[in-house]
Amino acid sequence: MAHPITTVDYHTAGEPFRIVPMPPLDIPGDTVAEKRMNAIASAEIDGLRRFLCYEPRGHADMYGGFITDPDDEGAHFGVLFWHKDGFSTACGHGTIALGIWALRSGLVAPDPSGSTDVVIDVPSGRVTARVHMDADGRTTSADFVNVPSTLIAESVPVETSHGTVTVDLAWGGAIYACLNVAGLSNTGGASLSVAAENLPTFIRLGREVKAALAGDSRIEHPTDPRLSGVYGTIIYETLDGAGTSTTSPAEGAGAAEGAGAAEGAGAAEGAGATEPDGSLHQRNVTIFADGQVDRSPCGSGTSARVGALWSQGLLAHDGELIHDSIVGTRFRARILDEGQALGRPAVVPIVTGSAYEVARSEFTLDPDDSLVPGFVLR
The residues carrying an active-site annotation are: 91
pLDDT digits (tens, 9 = 90+) for 363-374: 999 999 999 999
Q: Which of 55-64, 268-277, 339-348 has the lowest mean pLDDT?
A: 268-277
The span from the first CA to the last CA of the chain, in angstroms, equals: 27
Measure the CA–CA gap between 65 and 80, rounded to whole angstroms.
5
Nearest to 204 by CA among 229, 218, 219, 184: 184
SS3 per-residue string spanning 1-64: CCCCEEEEEEEECCEEEEEECCCCCCCCCCCHHHHHHHHHHCHHHHHHHHHHHCECCCCCCCEE
Residues 237-280 pLDDT 10s? 999 866 677 754 334 443 333 333 344 344 344 456 777 777 99
Q: Dump pLDDT digits (tens) for 149-197.
A: 999 999 999 999 999 999 999 999 999 999 999 978 877 777 899 999 9
List, in order, residues 6 or more apart from 200 with CB less than 8 Å away.
none
